Structure 1
């Protein structure tokens, strides 16, 4: 049996056409959430097989940027 979990990243601010701000992902928060979910899966009898980033992009004023929008954790029942 396979189980997947998606964790969306939290950000401090997003791109703005007016101010040309860039997105900033809270990687510390994401790391804590990945660890929590992986430990929970293990307690439920799963083995984590993959953690895959899902990236998104944005184009503002001719400048582009990409960030990790979320991660998908794939686990298999022991």
Structure 2
């Protein structure tokens, strides 16, 4: 498990190393992984500030949401 976590931390970039603009940040995140759950994306987008858009608004604008079943967690992919 420690090996997995170490490799995972190396693969996913630190928030401070990501671009500051929403479009560039989402592009960078989706280059790392094609599919994300909301709870996985949240740490990477919570510091983005766009007038008139909440975190949910950013997800609507820059991602495509799918939900395989009613009780499944939504999955976000690049728009």
Q: TM-score, normalised by structure 1?
A: 0.28
Q: Which has the larger radius of gyration?
A: 1
Q: Relative CO higher for 1 or 2, CA cutoff 8 Å, sep ≥ 6?
A: 1
> Which has more strand, going by share of residues?
1
Q: TM-score scaled to structure 2, two decimals?
A: 0.28
More helix by share: 2
